[in-house]
Each structure stands twice: as structure tokens, then as C-alpha cells.
Homo-oligomer: A and B are copies of this chain.
Amino acid sequence: MQLYGIGKQSIRFLSDKASRFVPKGGVYPKGFEVGGIHCGVKKDGKSLDLAILNNTHGKSAVASAVFTTNKFKAAPVQVSSKIVKEKKGEEINSLVINSGNANAVTGSQGMKDAQDMITVTDAALGNPTNSTLVMSTGVIGNNLPISKILSGIPQLAGENLGSTHEHWLKCAQAICTTDTFPKLVSKLFELNGHTYTLAGLAKGAGMICPNMATLLGFFVTDAPVTASALDQILKFATDRSFNSISVDGDMSTNDTIVAIANGAAGGEPIDNSSSSAESFGILQREITGFAQQLAQLVVRDGEGATKFITISVKDALSYGDAKIIASSIANSSLFKTAMYGNDANWGRILCAIGYSQVSSGDSINPAKTNVSFIPSDGSQKLKLLVNGEPEVVDEERASEILSVEDIEVEIDLGTGGGQECKFWTCDLTHEYIAINGDYRS
């Protein structure tokens, strides 16, 4: 792998991303404490590998979670999903997360370890039983170094939790694996005369694909919302954010997205009844936009990625069709390598549209299909295909558009259905191969 190793230039490039995408400060929701430490899972003896988030505003936060659909569900996924289901999202106050080992395919010992992480965290934080959800990310098939984790938890829960920007950043760092920068976003929003805050963290990098992947993410807010309303909002938001991104088309055994709301900023609880419809709509829009922002950071940090690509499918018969087509393009290795090479090879885009598994015969009509590049500087779009006929493309202009980091491809299907979808992906590069060709050693 020597020849292709990540050279000095790439390292400069990656740290450049960190300086652009890691915030220098933030606004964080009331009533939460977070932190991260090194407890000994990661072998370098220093990288943060254990994170906790805790609700300090009473012990009655509500939570919703979305889990991987992979049939080999890791132990923490099995244990956490059981708790969310049994408690119907009520009284879930804390998260405990380790990185460096996924606790996946680890048999009955793995299940015990996941439950022990919850039990020890609840004890350390003074929570009622099973108030904590657990997540793990890293290599599959090895048992956790559980004693290190279980002794790390009280150490972290003791003096190492807090609510400053540094605490949030450490929490975000502690959930990373091959990520080149921690993913942390926060924002304020207004609702019913109150100011609420949202904070979000994610871990991504590889194995990212539709319907989630080795993706851990959580949002917390101090807005008041019922468990049932939060559940509905999280599913809507995840569908349009974490389930609309792809790095390499692989979906992991550990994917988990959690939302927690503690109501610490006051106001009437928002539910999903008709009387709350306006507030519900605002909260859903805020959380969806926020989830997209976080999901996009995962794509920007896709393993080896040098480009951030938006696939915009318009005028589809249905949202489902639009998403299938966008996903097909986003997962095409040939398309992704062409983007890496600044090559306006739109034939590969068309090809991926053509083999996408849309259900209806009317979903795609070659003679009505349009493909364009949308320049990131707001200048006029470059048409590549108009109603199924290739344009004479100014290759120099095309290369110019493709040479920047942010690329948008627009597909107008011309069906008259008017439905659309946005999907985000990155390019497929030499660094991806270098990172994944020798990940474990």
C-alpha cells in the first residue's frame, strides 16, 4: 500500500476540512451535560473512545430512535431498540457510546456487555433503571474490552461531563473512528415565543448508504415535545437526511440515530394532535433541516472524499421514484470515479438512471429526461442532455464546474408528476481504497 498511501498533500487537505467544518463555538440546549474520554478501547492509548450525554433537567426526557435494518444487528442496537420500545420513548435520559469496537457479532457476551454499559451508566448518573441507550462503532467480531469501558464510565460521569463547547467537542470526538473531523452542529430557533436550542453530533466516514450505515448520530433539544411527536418527526427527518446520503453503499450492523428532548427551555409540550399542527410543522422543519446539515457533514467526510455532490432529481412521478433514481446515481462507482476525475461523463449518470429499480414503466421516459450540472457559484447551469438528446457540451466549462469541491447534478425526469428529492454523496477516490484496503491493521 506504500505507493498509494495518503501523502502529505492529502493530509493537508483533510486538516483543511477540519478547520472549515469544525465549529469554534456553539449554542447548546439547556439541561444537558456531555463529555468524552479515552478509556482504553482504541489502541493508541490516547484517542477519545468513550462518550456520555446526560439530561440533567429532571429525569423525564423523551427519546426516539431509528436503527439499522441490517439483519445482523449489533448487540447495542438490539438492547437499545428493546428499551425504546418497552418504554415507548419515555424517560430516556442518557446515551453511552464507545468507539473502536462495534460490539457486533459478539454472541451472548456482547449482549451482556451492552446491557452492562447501560446499567453502569445509569448507576453513575443516578438514573432510574434502563434510562440509557448504548451505541458502539468500530471493528466487527471482537468482544469489547468491557472492564476498561465499565471503569471508564464512572470516571467520565464524575468530573468529566459539562456543558461548554469543549465538552460537546470532546463528546463528538469520542464517537469517531476513521472520521477525519468530529461532526458537531448547534442552532437556536424560535417557536411560540420561546427560544429553543438544537445540538447534534454524528459519526460517519465509511459504510454510509441509504437507509443508514455505520452511522451514529444524535440530536438533543431543550424544546418540549411528546415522545410520540418526536418519533414522527425523527422518522420524517431521517428519511430526508441520513437516509438520503451515500458514501459507499454499505449499510452497517450498528446504525443508530437518536433524538432526545428534555423541555428544559419551557413552553407547552408539542404533540402531534391537530391543535399543535403549526408548532409541530415548525419543529419538524427545524429538525429536518438540522439533520440534513449533520448528514451532509458525514458525506463531506466520506472516506477519501474530495467532492461533495448533490444529486437533485426533479419532476418525478413520486418522491419514492425520485429517491430510487438519486440513490442509484449516488451509488454508481463509475459516476463517483468520474466526479473524482473532473470528467463530465454524463453517460454514466444516464446509465445509472436507466438501471435504477423504479417500479412503474412510466417513471422514466428517455425522450423526456434532462441532465444538467449546476455550478456552485450560481452561474448558469450547463445542460448535458435535453429531452433525451445530448447537447454539444463545452468540455472546458464542464471541467471548470467539476473542478471545485461542491458539485450539483440536476436530473429533470419530465414526467409531469412534480415530485422531487435531494440526495448527497461523495466521489470514489484512491484514498478510499487506501483507507479500506487495510483498515484493521
Pair B346/A390 contact, Cβ less than 8 Å: no
Asked whether A366 and B71 contact (CB < 8 A) given A334-B207, A430-B433, the answer is: yes
In angstroms, Cα B345 to Cα A72, docked, is 15
Scan A133-147; emit 1 where CB is below 8 A from any B CB, else 0.
000000111100000
Interface set, chain A 110-146, CB cutoff 8 A to B: 139-142
Asked if A331 is an interface residue, CB under 8 A from chain B, the answer is: yes
Pair A104/B348 contact, Cβ less than 8 Å: no
Pair B438/A140 contact, Cβ less than 8 Å: no
Pair A249/B438 contact, Cβ less than 8 Å: no
Pair A438/B206 contact, Cβ less than 8 Å: no
Q: How many copies of this chain does the complex contain?
A: 2
Pair B438/A348 contact, Cβ less than 8 Å: no
Asked if A70 is an interface residue, CB under 8 A from chain B, the answer is: yes
A77 to chain B, nearest CB (A): 11
Give the nearest-CB partner of A341 in chain B: B437
Asked if A416 is an interface residue, CB under 8 A from chain B, the answer is: no
Asked if A355 is an interface residue, CB under 8 A from chain B, the answer is: yes
In angstroms, Cα B156 to Cα A111, docked, is 69
Pair A105/B390 contact, Cβ less than 8 Å: yes
User: Hey, which chain B residues are within 8 Å of A433, CB to CB?
Assistant: 337, 340, 428-430, 432-433
Chosen A-B contacts, 25 in total, with CB atoms closer than 8 Å, are A4-B430, A73-B354, A105-B385, A105-B389, A107-B389, A140-B347, A140-B350, A140-B351, A207-B351, A249-B331, A250-B333, A250-B348, A250-B351, A251-B355, A253-B347, A333-B428, A333-B436, A338-B436, A338-B437, A340-B433, A343-B438, A343-B440, A429-B437, A430-B430, A433-B433
